[in-house]
Amino acid sequence: MDFRVNVTIEVEQKANALAIRKPVPAQLVYNRGRWHFECESPAVLMPACSSMEEALVAGSQQLAVEVQAEAIE
């Protein structure tokens, strides 16, 4: 069974000595017994993980890196 879980990740974006919490919509996707994290903007697609928690943590960490990189540009 395949399905998607919609989540909103709040990422702290730091720029010019200000910290703003930015909500970012993402999805946890379950496919063939594995979970992976997807986000459309910024584009983040993580490899499949064995647990939902592992996918959520890895995806959120990568999402934070991408959001911060956008703030610097």
7 pLDDT higher than 90 = yes
Rounded to 5 degrees, what angle do the CA atoms 17, 67, 25 make?
125
Would you say residue 70 has pLDDT above 90? no
pLDDT of residue 17: 75
Name the pairing type of β-strands 3-15 and 34-39. Answer: unpaired
Which ranges of 1-73 would DSSP assign to H, the alpha helix? 52-72
Q: Quick count: other Cβ atoms within 10 Å of Cβ 68?
A: 15
What digits encode the pLDDT tens for the residues 10-62?
Answer: 998 877 777 888 899 999 999 999 999 999 999 999 999 999 999 999 999 99
Give the C-alpha distances (Å, rounded to integers) separating 44 from 1, 28, 48, 56, 58. Answer: 23, 12, 13, 12, 11
pLDDT at residue 19, rounded to an integer: 80
